[in-house]
């Protein structure tokens, strides 16, 4: 049990206070005090472990099932005794130009907030320490934790979007660079598009739940937190628009790259055809004069052989100039 519990603390008036180490006793103490709340953080709990906690907190079985099984879609669900929210985290790694994702689930209820994380890209450890330095914000209780978690995760979206934008600019420069298209550009674009798909799965579905929180009326969310949540919703909308804009631009870049490849292939075919025509003329003339018939023009003349070579040269030079002017060579 201790393995999955990252931290468990009681907060009163924005400050962390001493309390029972057992989460069950700590929750009872927070509810008895009336002006305190319990913040418990869990890391990748198993079904059995979370079932023990859910019995004490009165969590809904469907929400518990979602919290155990990762790979959930971002959402906000209201139950009689709790509010359940799922968020996806994004991490951008510039070394491999890779976007990784994780998940954070939040339970808000009577005098408690529970955070459940899955994956390595979790900002909650640093977030708790940062919040404890802001008692004016933390005194709003579980709503302050909800806002801070959402705000930190959405800020991560913006950082990931900035990193992806830099990669997109590099891909765009390679596609439209002078000369032949860079080999493997299409594969690179497809790989980049997969990164954007992961980002869209995090940012897109979260917009509607954030707007619900910003409008107010959700249980266990204080009205004082609504302005902060509206600010988070605005940042999320900006991140969502940035990701969608990159996705549309990447589609255009892919179309441009395929068009460039097609044009280059046409140019190659024209050059091959031009050189084939240049080779066909002397081959045809040599083939005619190599048929060994007795009666052929200039066959017995001493200047016949040089004349045939001169004819080949003149025709090839003429074709070369024609192809050069037309851009085939």
Please tell me the total count of domains within the chain: 2
Residues 242 and 279 in one domain: no
Give dist(CA 144, CA 319) in Å, integer: 80
> Of 120 and 137, which is predicted with more confidence?
137
Residues 23 and 51 in one domain: yes
Long-range residue pairs from 49-55, CB within 8 A, at least 24 positions apart, any chain: 49/1, 49/4, 50/4, 50/116, 52/1, 53/23, 53/114
Domain residue limits at 92: 5-260
Residue 19 confidence (pLDDT)? 83
pTM over 0.75? The answer is yes
Give dist(CA 286, CA 308) in Å, integer: 8
Listed residue (36, 80, 45, 81) closest to 65, CA to CA: 45
Tell whether the model's pLDDT for residue 313 goes beyond 70: yes
Counting Cβ atoms within 10 Å, is residue 40 exposed (0-12), middle (13-18) or buried (19+)?
Answer: buried
Residue 180 confidence (pLDDT)? 57
Structural Rg of the chain based on CA atoms: 35
Residues 11 and 122 in one domain: yes
Angle between helices 226-289 and 304-326 (to 10 degrees): 160
Full strand arrangement of the beta sheet holding 5-12? 15-17, 5-12, 36-43, 112-118, 98-109, 82-93, 75-79
What is the domain-level CATH number for residue 288? Answer: 1.20.58.340
Listed residue (83, 86, 100, 3) closest to 42, CA to CA: 3
Residues 82 and 208 in one domain: yes
Residue-wise pLDDT for 229-275, tens only, equals 999 999 999 999 999 999 888 888 888 877 777 777 777 777 777 77
Last residue of a domain, one of 239, 260, 281: 260
Residues 48 and 67 in one domain: yes
Residues 85 and 189 in one domain: yes
Residue-wise pLDDT for 196-230, tens only, equals 888 999 999 999 999 999 998 899 998 888 999 99
Residues 72 and 182 in one domain: yes
Residues 195 and 246 in one domain: yes
Helix (H, G, I), strand (E, B) or coil at 90: strand
Residue 154 confidence (pLDDT)? 95
Share of the chain above pLDDT 70, in %: 89
Lowest mean pLDDT among 31-45, 70-84, 151-165, 305-319: 305-319
Residue-wise pLDDT for 79-102, tens only, equals 988 999 999 999 888 777 788 888
Tell whether the model's pLDDT for residue 189 goes beyond 60: yes
Give dist(CA 39, CA 81) in Å, integer: 16
Residues 52 and 78 in one domain: yes
Residues 40 and 154 in one domain: yes
Residues 148 and 69 in one domain: yes
């Amino acid at each position: 049990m201790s393995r999955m519990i990252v931290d468990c603390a009681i907060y009163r008036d924005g400050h962390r206070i001493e309390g029972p180490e057992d989460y069950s006793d700590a929750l009872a103490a927070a509810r008895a005090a009336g002006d305190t709340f319990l913040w418990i953080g869990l890391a990748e709990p198993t079904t059995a472990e979370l079932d023990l906690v859910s019995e004490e907190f009165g969590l809904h079985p469907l929400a518990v099932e979602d919290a155990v099984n990762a790979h959930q879609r971002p959402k906000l669900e209201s139950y009689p005794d709790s509010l359940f929210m799922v968020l996806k985290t994004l991490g951008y790694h510039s070394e491999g130009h890779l976007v990784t994702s994780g998940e954070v689930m939040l339970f808000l209820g009577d005098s408690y907030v529970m955070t459940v994380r899955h994956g390595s890209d979790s900002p909650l450890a640093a977030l708790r320490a940062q919040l404890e330095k802001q008692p004016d914000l933390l005194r709003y209780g579980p709503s302050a934790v909800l806002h801070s978690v959402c705000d930190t995760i959405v800020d991560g979206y913006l950082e990931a979007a900035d990193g992806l934008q830099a990669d997109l600019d590099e891909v765009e420069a390679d596609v439209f660079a002078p000369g032949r298209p860079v080999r493997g550009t299409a594969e690179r674009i497809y790989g980049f598009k997969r990164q954007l798909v992961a980002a869209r799965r995090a940012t897109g579905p979260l917009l509607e739940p954030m707007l619900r929180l910003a409008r107010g009326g959700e249980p266990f969310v204080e009205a004082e937190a609504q302005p902060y949540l509206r600010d988070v919703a605005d940042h999320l909308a900006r991140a969502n628009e940035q990701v969608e804009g990159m996705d549309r631009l990447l589609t255009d870049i892919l179309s441009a790259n395929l068009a460039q490849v097609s044009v280059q292939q046409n140019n190659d075919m024209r050059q091959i055809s031009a050189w084939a025509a240049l080779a066909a003329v002397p081959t045809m003339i040599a083939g005619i004069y190599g048929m060994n018939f007795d009666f052929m023009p200039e066959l017995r003349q001493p200047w016949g052989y040089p004349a045939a070579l001169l004819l080949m040269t003149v025709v090839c030079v003429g074709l070369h100039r024609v192809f050069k002017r037309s851009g085939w060579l």
